[in-house]
Copies of this chain bind each other. A is one copy, B any other.
């Protein structure tokens, strides 16, 4: 039998306890031994809850108990999760977490401690919720070198974009509804400004590159400025607007970005709707591969955490993660990153398109018949810097959205 502790009895922590209980016999079989919760740490009391007999309020009880071999950190946030995780690892206990913020910030250091102690720091649930992506990157897709990782990594924003598109509603309206339904936080900034997706793509890029990617270095643009007008143009082009988190390797450098993108309907991510997440990768020998599923939610996230617990149980005293060195990876300058740009501009195509072509070269005109005072166009492939320089010469630009196209 292996004893575990769960730090935090919130959504994820209580989900972990529930999953371990629901699938107890198959989990024990796959782990090769019984897995039982010895402690749950929370500052709160839960009178009447089945967790009561194992509830403790003092972290020291857990870290000092040599019987506890695996600790689930389900507290969220950087502190005290970081200190607790580090102390558990130093005490020889494997740690499994869904905490993307902590992993993005201190993953390299915590992995190094786990390696030194010959135990494991596992974080399958930190990206893509229930979708297996960390372990496949680490142990399945090992024959490849990846030149693209692009994901829909935030269910809240994907739900909002899907709703805006399907029902023709503005951002604020859909956000409010999502908040009322519990799909969006009261303070939605981390989701809608792209910060959450940014941390997740930082983790994936760090793993793919084997070096530390600081999420602060990643250009991040949210969805708050996307309007029903933008979506009408997207539909006119047979495209969808999605918040993508993407890293592309060009000439030996990773270019990373979180931003709304226009996607063609033949892109595998086009049909990922609602709260679902998906991660698309391109490997140099494998070609395209995509993982799709529930990117959040109590039980899917807990399922991923428990799969880590099982893996930790199967690999006691044996480190399984590839190294993710704390040496900082210098990302490519986003100004050099290239894409096509969709632009909405005030004016009339008949009279103004000539000037635009003088500046941007050949562009593809897009018009939505209902919108009389503006029109849209799609540029050719150009760098961000090039776009900015050209855009400064053309007055009246209302919006620019990048177009995701397989280059």
Interface, chain A (partner B; CB < 8 A): 19, 22-23, 26-27, 30-31, 124, 130-132, 135-136, 139-145, 266, 268, 270-271, 273, 276, 283-294, 297, 299-300, 302-307, 309-311, 322
Contact = CB atoms under 8 A, between A and B. Distances in A.
Secondary structure of the A side of the interface?
mixed
A297 B347 CA distance: 50
B26 A145 contact: yes
Given A26-B145, A31-B142, A286-B294, 8 more contacts: A19-B143, A130-B286, A140-B307, A143-B310, A271-B271, A289-B292, A289-B293, A289-B294
Integer count of this chain's copies in the complex: 2
27 contacts: A22-B284, A23-B145, A30-B142, A30-B322, A124-B140, A132-B141, A135-B139, A136-B136, A139-B139, A139-B307, A139-B311, A141-B303, A143-B303, A143-B309, A266-B273, A270-B271, A271-B271, A276-B288, A283-B303, A285-B299, A285-B303, A287-B297, A288-B292, A289-B291, A289-B293, A290-B292, A291-B291
Top 4 nearest A-B pairs (CB, nearest first) are A143-B306, A289-B293, A132-B140, A290-B292
Nearest to A15: B285
Most buried by B among A22, A143, A276: A143
A205 to B, nearest CB: 16
A145 B141 CA distance: 24
A14 to B, nearest CB: 13
Contact of A23 (B276, B285, B287, B322): B285
Contacts of A309: 143
Given A141-B307, A143-B307, A286 B299 contact: yes
A144 B303 contact: yes
Contacts of A22: 284-285
A276 B267 CA distance: 13
Nearest to A27: B143
A261 B383 CA distance: 45
A84 B187 CA distance: 62
Contacts of A276: 288
